[in-house]
Amino acid sequence: MFKLLQLVKRVEPTQRPGSLNRKYLNLKVKKCSSDFFPVAGNVTCVDAVEPFSFGSQCNFTCQEGYSLTRDDTYTCLSSGQWSNPTPTCEVVQCNRLKTPPHASMQCQDPLGVPSYGSMCFVQCEEGFDLIGGNMTKCSAQGNWSHELPVCQARRCNPINPPHGSLSCSDPNGAFTFGSLCTKTCDEGFLLNGTNSTECTSEGVWSTDIPRCLAKRCPTLSSPSHGSLVCSGPHGEFSFASLCTKTCDEGFLLNGTNSTECTSEGVWSADIPQCLGKSCPTLRSPSHGSLVCSGPHGEFSFASQCTSTCKEGFIMNGTADTECTSLGMWSTDIPRCLAKSCPTLSSPSHGSLVCSGPHGEFSFASQCTSTCEEGFVMNGTADIECTSLGTWSTDIPRCLAKSCPTLSSPSHGSLVCSGPHGEFSFASQCTSTCEEGFVMNGTADTECTSLGMWSTDIPRCLAKRCPTLSSPSHGSLVCSGPHGEFSFASLCTKTCDEGFLLNGTNSTECTSEGVWSADIPQCLAKSCPTLSSPSHGSLVCSGPHGELSFASQCTSTCEEGFVMNGTADTECTSLGTWSTDIPRCLAKSCPTLSSPSHGSLDCSGPHGEFRFASQCTSTCKDGFVMNGTADTECTSLGTWSTDIPRCLAKRCPTLSSPSHGSLVCSGPHGEFSFASQCTSTCEEGFVMNGTVDTECTSLGMWSSELPHCLAQRCPLLDKAPHHGRMNCSHPYSPFSYGSHCDFECNEGFWLRGTPTTTCNDSGHWSQDRPSCQPLQCEAIPALSGSLSMNCSHPLRNFSFGSQCFFDCEEGFSLNGTEVLFCSSSGIWNDSLPNCIGDMPLGADMLLSSGLGIAYVVGPLVLVVLAVMLIVVYVKFRKRGDNMMSEAPAWGDRENPAFDFDS
């Protein structure tokens, strides 16, 4: 207790009777003691005669935060005693606070108990955030100024990965600090990354949630003579992709036309081949020969055959025939007949009427052909026997009318027959379906005389089984090649957590349209039977039956006993109880131990750790108390407060520097008093700051963490002349990892390496290149009547150079007047020359020299031809020196002048 300044206020009486003054004029008035001032209190007195004398009255009040224990008015009696005992001012007390979960609390109690002026500070554990103010104070009215805050676990972003499932354990709430989640992928998908992640104390996931990528099948190529069309919900050539094969016209599919990428990452069927359609084998005509060839084999699609007749025979028919995309020859093989008009017969399925002036089947005989119903004429109806002994045309054929070619229904077969060939007039086709499929349509169809089928080809539909529903407390996954709940569909049953499968987990839709097995039930797991605790009772209930999954049991103790353990227990999904049944123990206070890094001093009137025992905790230097120092054993056999913890003072949490690492260690836990941390930087980064730091006794780090800065390279301030530079900087401009690419403008070539990178030592991997102009072939000094004047904006005889040519008087320029060097390092034309003009009288010399010219002329022409070839070869060899670094002129000055002889 502390003593405050006391204040006494005196008040003069309003009236004093004169008779009273005279009566007591010579008497000594008795006084009361003045040593009655209450600590932390104020006194106001009214004196009858003298201060604190008989008849004086005093009123007492307490200062803020204190309350009066006795009456507030006192009178000095004639006996010299105060009418009441001396009052006291006792400090106002607040109730003791209990440390919130996941937090530590430190209280400052000047009087040793929670009283007016006491303050308590709350700090949350790592991974928890404070909700509310961190300080509360005991007021003058005995109430705390604020409610204690709540420590709420930090929350990570909710996650819900596609094509998979997530299983999480959440000790502090869903997706909060301490939550551990494990990812599994659906059938047909593979995990890309780590399968588990944890919500850290910073409220972020320790690792990224991996993706479930669809399994890939091997890449397929389009078959020869066909095409391949693929599509899928998860990308081409991935799980559930479907590829369909079609053949080009004239080719037939040899195998199944479609394949699917299964959940195992393999194709359900191989890609078939496209084989050329075959035509019937041909034989050489009698008295003739047959020559055949084709790109896909003899007698196959696109094969061509040519017939010829021997000498003495004439051909009756077309010499050339081709195997069409329908697998039929474009024309029949012709016949070779001896010269005369052969005897004619009526065409098959037709009739022939002949007449002639010179006898049947002879010169001038005429025959007319007609066809039966259902047949069409192929050829000319009228024919005449010519003077060459041949008929003017062949007898026409009566061909059965053709119907469109039919294909077997999917999941079925087609059988056709006919008197005049497949798919012709009077042909009949019958369709049947495979096992597990039913026919939708008419089985039989016939090719009518109109060339049309009597009915369409039917479809074969997969038989359907009854629709299944997901069982209670479980799930059902079904898949099938012909649609859900159809023939060959497979359904798999799984039970929810805490339930067991009672039966077969899968069933299949059979070819009879019934399921191979019934859907089983999911039964709740059972836990062992429990007994009531001694001196207590047990009450159990559950949604799936007593002592089954999700059942809850509550224990209670008889009066006079206290529970040692957890009252409630639950039957978990593993078939075990979450906690053991508690015990009921007689009331007493538990034995206390000194807090770690502290001491405990206990005393009591009824023995140690018994009712009314008091214990006081203290912490060693460098540690702070988390809790209340004093505790008392109450009549209920419990301590009034828990023994506090002595926690090492914590420094702020440190994170590794960017592009560096941090290694910490300490005797009392990471980031606590006496912890030491050492920073290092990654390769290519240099440290800016102090390497080591230590957590001091004040809860502060001895120095700040350093920064890891990217190693800098010399600045590349501009691109090479006549070029371009493009740089990327992952960290900072022209530092470690920076990458620069160089290119030259048109007409220039790059001298040096086109790329350079800033390495971890702060140097560029290559020197900066330069852009040099492309060189044309140097023109040597001219002699004779030809002169040249050149300009070189970049370098002698390089890109952009121009040369102008002229001839002396009496000569004419033969060739271009201007040569310029292009951006590819090639002159735009050949070097010109000068030709002399014919002087006056040259005609006389010409006539007199004609004789000489006839002799010398050929020789001169040969010499000139050789010279022209040499010049042509010289000016065409440009590639040898296009990329040379210096022109052929060497160190000679720019030839921008005339070359006169």
365: in domain: yes
Written as six digits, the tokens of 157 are 């972003």
3-class SS string, 187-213: CCEEEECCCEEEECCCCCECCCCCEEE
Coil, helix or strand at residue 5: coil
Q: Model confidence at 338, in pLDDT bands (50, 70, 90)?
A: low
Flag the least confident range among 569-583, 747-761, 878-892: 878-892
Estimate to the nearest angstrom the gap between the alpha carbon of 259 and the chain centroid. Answer: 28
Give the model's pLDDT for residue 261: 94
Q: Is the pLDDT of residue 555 over 90?
A: yes
Shared domain for 794 and 741, answered yes or no, is: no
Q: Is the pLDDT of residue 874 over 70?
A: no
**Each residue of 79-127: pLDDT tens digit?**
888 888 777 888 888 988 889 998 999 898 877 788 888 899 899 988 8
Give the model's pLDDT for residue 325: 87
Q: Is the pLDDT of residue 423 over 90?
A: no
The b/e string for 220-241 (b: 16+ C-beta within 10 A; e otherwise) is beebebbeeebebebeebbbbb
Integer Cα distance of 189 and 181 in angstroms? 19
Taking residues 296-316, what's their average pLDDT?
83
Shared domain for 268 and 282, answered yes or no, is: no
Shared domain for 801 and 867, answered yes or no, is: yes
Give the model's pLDDT for residue 18: 34
The b/e string for 373-390 (b: 16+ C-beta within 10 A; e otherwise) is ebbeeeeeeebebeeeeb
Shared domain for 868 and 793, answered yes or no, is: yes
**Each residue of 389-421: pLDDT tens digit?**
788 898 999 988 889 999 999 899 999 998 888
Give the model's pLDDT for residue 896: 34
Shared domain for 250 and 320, answered yes or no, is: no
Q: From residue 558, give the alpha-carbon distance in Å to each of 142, 610, 753.
A: 36, 21, 91
Give the model's pLDDT for residue 431: 94
Of 501, 524, 547, the residue at which a domain comes to its end is: 524
Q: Is the pLDDT of residue 14 over 50?
A: no
1: in domain: no
Give the model's pLDDT for residue 678: 95
Taking residues 254-270, what's their average pLDDT?
88
Written as six digits, the tokens of 543 are 């949604």
69: in domain: yes
CATH of the domain at 744: 2.10.70.10
832: in domain: yes
Q: Is the pLDDT of residue 558 over 50?
A: yes
Q: Is the pLDDT of residue 162 over 90?
A: no
Average pLDDT, the chain: 83
112: in domain: yes
**Each residue of 122-148: pLDDT tens digit?**
999 888 988 888 889 998 888 988 888
The domain in which residue 455 lies consists of 412-462
Shared domain for 872 and 848, answered yes or no, is: yes
Coil, helix or strand at residue 632: strand
Give which of 426, 429, 425 is closest to 406, Cα–Cα: 429
Antiparallel, parallel or unpaired: β 313-316 and 304-309? unpaired
Length of the chain: 901
Shared domain for 482 and 520, answered yes or no, is: yes
251: in domain: yes
**Residue 96 near residue 640, CB atoms below 8 Å:** yes
Q: Count the neighbouring beta carbons within 10 Å of the beta carbon of residue 87.
A: 21
Q: Is the pLDDT of residue 888 over 70?
A: no
Estimate to the nearest angstrom the gap between the alpha carbon of 411 and the chain centroid. Answer: 40
**Residue 773 near residue 799, CB atoms below 8 Å:** yes
Rg (CA), the chain: 57
Shared domain for 383 and 331, answered yes or no, is: no
Shared domain for 375 and 334, answered yes or no, is: no
893: in domain: no
Give 180's Cβ-side CA count (13 Å radius).
Answer: 2
Of 482, 499, 524, the residue at which a domain comes to its end is: 524
Which is more confidently placed, 157 or 14?
Answer: 157
Taking residues 793-811, what's their average pLDDT?
90
Q: How many domains does the chain have?
A: 12
Give which of 410, 461, 454 is closest to 429, Cα–Cα: 454
Q: Model confidence at 37, in pLDDT bands (50, 70, 90)?
A: low
- Measured between its terminal Cα atoms, the distance across the chain in Å is 128
Antiparallel, parallel or unpaired: β 7-11 and 41-46? parallel
Shared domain for 795 and 864, answered yes or no, is: yes
Of 338, 365, 387, the residue at which a domain comes to its end is: 338
778: in domain: no
Walk across the sheet containing 614-619 and list its strands.
Answer: 598-603, 614-619, 630-632
**Amino acid, single-letter form, for residue 700:** M
Give the model's pLDDT for residue 609: 84
Integer Cα distance of 480 and 313 in angstroms? 67
Q: Is the pLDDT of residue 330 over 80?
A: yes
3-class SS string, 572-616: CCCCCECCCCCEEEECCCCCCCCCCCEEEEEECCCCCCCCCCEEE
Give the model's pLDDT for residue 897: 32
Integer Cα distance of 218 and 209 in angstroms? 27
Give which of 113, 138, 92, 207 is closest to 628, Cα–Cα: 113
Shared domain for 608 and 635, answered yes or no, is: yes
User: What percentage of the chain has pLDDT greater than the value 70?
Assistant: 88
